[in-house]
């Protein structure tokens, strides 16, 4: 079973032209790569495009993967480069005042938004786990996460509201996200 294989073995199978192996890699890392792209680009549509481009680029260059680094790091690096390319392209577009017609062709690879019943169940399970993870954070960390994500306040506004130094607020957000990552490790990885 492909699910039982680690990333390195899956890559080895993909290099040997096993399409299912690469499909398993995509399934396993799709959501995290999408989240990384979302963290860099800040927009879901752009992040989805960048994630698609990342896996296309990985598939094209999978023969060059030598196993010196982890597969996740390799994918992260491809994703970062892809996001920077996307940002650079967006800057060029805005500078040249190109209309949106030029970008339509690049959205061909956007995944359909529908959800199967199995994925809907998965998504609801994930919501429960995330809710529990956020609730289990210490109060000071949960407070800044709620203010940042739900209230959509800037770091400066949180700093003024809580009467804390700006660096302390950033540090608390970073720590909260780190702790959440540890609690969410058991989450399913596919994009819901």
Contact positions toward other proteins, by CB under 8 A?
31-36, 38-40, 42, 69, 72-73, 76-77, 79-81, 84, 123, 126-127, 130-131, 133-134, 145, 148-150, 154-155, 167, 170-171, 173-175, 177-182, 184, 187, 192
H-run or E-run covering 119: helix 117-135
- Comparing CB distances to other proteins, the nearer of 77 and 107 is 77
Residues 175 and 150: beta-carbon distance below 8 Å: no
Residue for token digits 């062709």?
105
The vertex-18 CA angle with 72 and 26, nearest 5°, equals 35
Please, is 129 exposed, middle or buried when counting C-beta atoms within 10 Å of its C-beta (0-12, 13-18, 19+)? middle
- Comparing CB distances to other proteins, the nearer of 13 and 75 is 75
Per the structure block, which two tokens stand in for 140? Answer: 């000071």
| CA distances, 2 to each of 27, 54, 96, 125, 180 (Å) | 11, 21, 47, 24, 28
Please state the closest distance from residue 191 (CB atom) to other proteins, in A. Answer: 9
- Comparing CB distances to other proteins, the nearer of 27 and 170 is 170
Please state the closest distance from residue 157 (CB atom) to other proteins, in A. Answer: 11
CA pair distance 98, 153, nearest whole angstrom:
32
Please state the closest distance from residue 79 (CB atom) to other proteins, in A. Answer: 8
CA pair distance 93, 111, nearest whole angstrom:
23
Please state the closest distance from residue 16 (CB atom) to other proteins, in A. Answer: 26
Please state the closest distance from residue 103 (CB atom) to other proteins, in A. Answer: 21
Please state the closest distance from residue 77 (CB atom) to other proteins, in A. Answer: 6
Give, rounded to a whole angstrom, the gap between the first and last alpha carbons of the chain. Answer: 23
- Comparing CB distances to other proteins, the nearer of 21 and 179 is 179
- Comparing CB distances to other proteins, the nearer of 7 and 18 is 7
- Comparing CB distances to other proteins, the nearer of 13 and 173 is 173
């Amino acid at each position: 079973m492909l699910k039982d294989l680690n990333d390195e073995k899956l890559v080895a199978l993909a290099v040997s032209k096993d399409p299912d192996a690469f499909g398993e890699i995509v399934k396993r890392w799709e959501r995290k790569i999408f989240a990384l792209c979302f963290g860099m680009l800040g927009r879901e549509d752009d992040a989805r495009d960048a994630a698609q481009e990342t896996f296309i680029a990985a598939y094209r260059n999978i023969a060059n993967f030598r196993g010196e680094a982890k597969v996740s790091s390799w994918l992260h690096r491809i994703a970062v480069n892809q996001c920077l390319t996307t940002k650079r392209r967006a800057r060029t577009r805005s500078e040249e005042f190109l209309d949106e017609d030029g970008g339509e062709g690049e959205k061909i690879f956007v995944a359909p938004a529908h959800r199967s019943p199995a994925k809907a169940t998965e998504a609801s399970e994930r919501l429960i786990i995330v809710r529990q993870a956020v609730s289990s954070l210490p109060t000071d960390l949960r407070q800044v996460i709620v203010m940042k994500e739900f209230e959509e306040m800037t770091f400066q506004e949180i700093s003024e509201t809580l009467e804390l130094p700006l660096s302390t607020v950033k540090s608390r957000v970073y720590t909260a996200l780190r702790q959440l990552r540890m609690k969410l490790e058991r989450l399913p990885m596919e994009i819901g």
